[in-house]
Amino acid sequence: MEQSKKSTQDNLLEVKNLKISFKTDEGIVTAVDGIDFSVRQGQTLGIVGESGSGKSVSTWSIMRLLPKNSIIDENSSIQFQRKSGKTVEITKLKTKSKELREIRGGEVALIFQEPMSSFSPVYTIGNQIMEAVLQHRDVTDQEAEEIAVDMLDRVGISNPRQRFKQYPFELSGGMRQRAMIAVALSMNPSLLIADEPTTSLDVTIQAQILELMNELQKDLGMSIIFITHNLGVIAQVADEIEVMYLGKILERGTTKEIINQPKHPYTKALIKAIPRLDHLGERLTAIQGDIPSPLSRPVGCPFYTRCDDVISGVCDVKMPEPTHLSDTHTVYCFLHEEKDV
Amino acid sequence: MSDTLLEIKDLKVHFPIRNDSLFGGVENYVKAVDGVSFHIEKGETLGLVGESGSGKTTIGRSILRAIEPTGGKVTFNVDDESIDLSQLSDKEMRKFRKHLQLIFQDPYSSLNPRMTVRDIIAEPLVAQKLAKGKEVDERVQEAAALCKLNVEFLRRFPHAFSGGQRQRIGIARALVSNPQFIVCDESVSALDVSIQAEILNLLMDLQEKLGFTYLFIAHDLSVVAHISKRVAVMYLGQFVELAPTKSLFHAPKHPYTEALMSAIPEVNPDIAMTPVELKGEIPSPINPPSGCRFHTRCTYTQDICKIKEPVWKEVEPGHFASCHFVDTLNLQGVEMSSPAKSPLTGKN
């Protein structure tokens, strides 16, 4: 996990000032509010946050998979380095352009949370992997089938030839999630977005899937964005962690920095809220209140309404500037701002 | 025993599989729960863990007779009386239900969207005719207050609430009839960690205040460990281990428990996970493996495991397990570091 080199050349993906809103009947809802992040070649970026924090929206925009009523702000920038070495500005692509279609699935792949509903029930597993392969590679049906069977084998599915002919309902949850990974990886993407990929699985299966993803990442050298609300999972897979709340990034750092030395009150609260086996019987610290509605976003730091360390007259006035605690560790909080100087 | 609330003996739930013919003859059975015995003490929380398909939910529901058990005895001790729930007629059972409640997993689908919060919470009182007129409102308000729900909320409909608030409505509904025993079936699994912590705290506070007894079913081991006094581990319709929480997690006696423990993702990034590998998937409960049901996936399998079913025995006081090698295996539990060493305590 050495991350001393920090040149922008290593960055596969660079997102700047990303702002995404949705037009709804109640007005314009801002889901992601001016965030920056980058993903390095071969690294795993973990994004944590509660539901409604904008984790999924911010990453789905990399594939431009947002619904029609979404607006990506014109000053936003998503720079993606293609396999050819060329860098493209994803926000400027037309949604039906050939280039975007090549990138979707071909270079950026997505695994969803719900392995039950992410497959079509009326096609066989094999059929659905082949479909993806045929879309992106110049191969015959025969070759596509070989690739699909090989991929099923690689993700640890026994009897891949037989599974190839089965329908999604015939596989268990863990199997289906493996098959999903097989679809995503069959095109050898350079970036994999895993959106809560193990949330609905049993711990034993979850451990297997995490190990599988680690192995495949080593073999194929891809980068991963791993979205989850389980801090235990993220501590095990991520190199870097970003903590999101209500469309903003509140803290960012290496996994060790975030988990062992959390600085933002929200990160601290999240970590304290996890029941831990080494602290049995202690009372958990819940975060008071609920996430505010994105329709009435608080002015200033989005977390101030629930924060124990709120400084009135400061936190509720403007969003704090980033404070760099180390090369990799950045926090957005007034409590730490003065130490910057 | 006077402090035992619930005594379950050899509980069995078998679901028939019918063939495709017109009359649907029974071909076979899914043995979802196959001979489980345990007891729950008054005011304690018994945790129940296991992979999906192990029969956790079926146990919870068959105790409440939401699913009719195929065999076995469920004895409930209330008001100095011992009542065998499995022998009650439907009518008698109906009367008895006020003592038993269930809190569901999904706070989005377990509340009727067309009913106001007040009507949802009042439902058990109305259905069981436990209260009338003004008293209903009083009890609803009392339950709502216990669950930290604002009185204002009672006039609104469920869609106006967040997941955590909805789950609190579900809890208020469960406790309004003043039950003795509550089954929490994955009650916090669908919630964010911060909300989960709040609901766990609420459940524990209510237990302290009102003396509830919980059967807490979940697949998240750390949540179960946090709330339970004792924990049972289930595999393919049977218990493989049952012990006080600490001794189960520190010193598991069954290889399956060891494997489950090792799969818990460690929050400390300095400790790498080393999951014990479980081969394959949970076998079908229609044709469970011979001998010890876990032998197909166990790392320590010997010949005897394939032939002979292990006995359920008390290894240490209160610590039960069913494994042939319970005395010889040296299994790894979860390391419990002293709180002082942990980077997460005492720091602000």
Q: Which of residues 44-63 of A touch B (CB under 8 A)?
A: 50-51
- Average pLDDT for B147-162: 89
What is the CATH code of the structural domain delimited by A2-107+189-277+286-340? 3.40.50.300
A-chain CB neighbours of B194 within 8 Å are 50, 269-270, 273, 286-287
* pLDDT tens digits, one per residue of A247-274: 999 999 999 999 999 999 999 999 888 8
Cα separation, A311 vs A309, in Å, equals 6
A3 touching chain B per CB within 8 A: no
Q: What is the pLDDT of residue B184?
A: 95
The residue of chain A nearest to residue B161, with distances taken between CA atoms, is: A290
Q: Is residue B73 part of a domain?
A: yes
Would residue B39 count as lying in a domain? yes
What's the pLDDT tens digit per position in A298-321?
889 999 999 988 888 889 898 999
Determine the pLDDT at residue B230. Answer: 95
Is A230 in Cβ contact with B265 (below 8 Å)? Answer: yes
pLDDT digits (tens, 9 = 90+) for B41-57: 999 999 999 888 888 99
Split at pLDDT 50, 70, 90, the class of A196 is confident
Tell me if B155 is assigned to some domain: yes
Taking each continuous run of H as one helix and of E as one strand, the counts in chain B are: 10, 12
Domain that holds residue B211: 4-228
A296 touches B at CB < 8 Å: no
> For chain B, what is the domain count?
1
Confidence class for position A6, pLDDT limits 50, 70, 90? very low
β-pairing, B213-217 vs B45-49, is: parallel
Mutation target vs A (from B267, B273, B298; most A CBs, 10 A cutoff): B267
Q: What is the dihedral of CA B217, A243, B271, A208, to 10 degrees?
A: 60
Residues 73-132 of A with CB under 8 A from B: none
Q: Nearest Cβ partner of B192 from A50, A211, A284? A: A50
The rounded distance, in Å, linking the Cα atoms of B65 and B288 is: 25
Query: Which of A83-97, A106-120, A173-187 has the highest average model confidence (pLDDT)?
Result: A83-97
Window from A113-122, B12-21, B164-173 with minimum mean pLDDT: A113-122
A339 at the B interface (CB within 8 A)?
no
In a domain, B281, yes or no: no
Q: Closest Cα of chain B to A174: distance in Å?
A: 8
Q: How far apart are CA A273 and CA B200, in angstroms?
A: 10
Contact assignment for A204 to B278 by CB distance below 8 Å = yes
**Confidence at A9, pLDDT banded by 50, 70, 90:** low
What's the pTM? 0.85
pLDDT at B336: 62
Q: Break chain A into its structural domains and give their ranges.
A: 2-107+189-277+286-340, 122-188
B281 touches chain A (CB under 8 A): yes
According to the model, what pLDDT value does residue A302 have? Answer: 92
CATH number for the domain that contains residue B67: 3.40.50.300
Q: pLDDT tens for residues B80-111?
A: 888 999 889 988 998 888 899 999 888 888 99
Q: Tell me which of A46-60, B12-26, B172-186 is least confident.
A: B12-26
Enumerate residues 187 to 246 of chain B having a beta carbon within 8 A of any beta carbon in chain A.
Answer: 192-198, 200-201, 204, 219-223, 225-227, 245-246
Per-residue confidence (pLDDT) for residue B268, from 0 to 100: 82
User: How far does B297 lie from chain A, in Å, by closest CA?
Assistant: 12
Beta carbons of A247 and A302 less than 8 angstroms apart: yes
Residue A113 DSSP one-character state: S
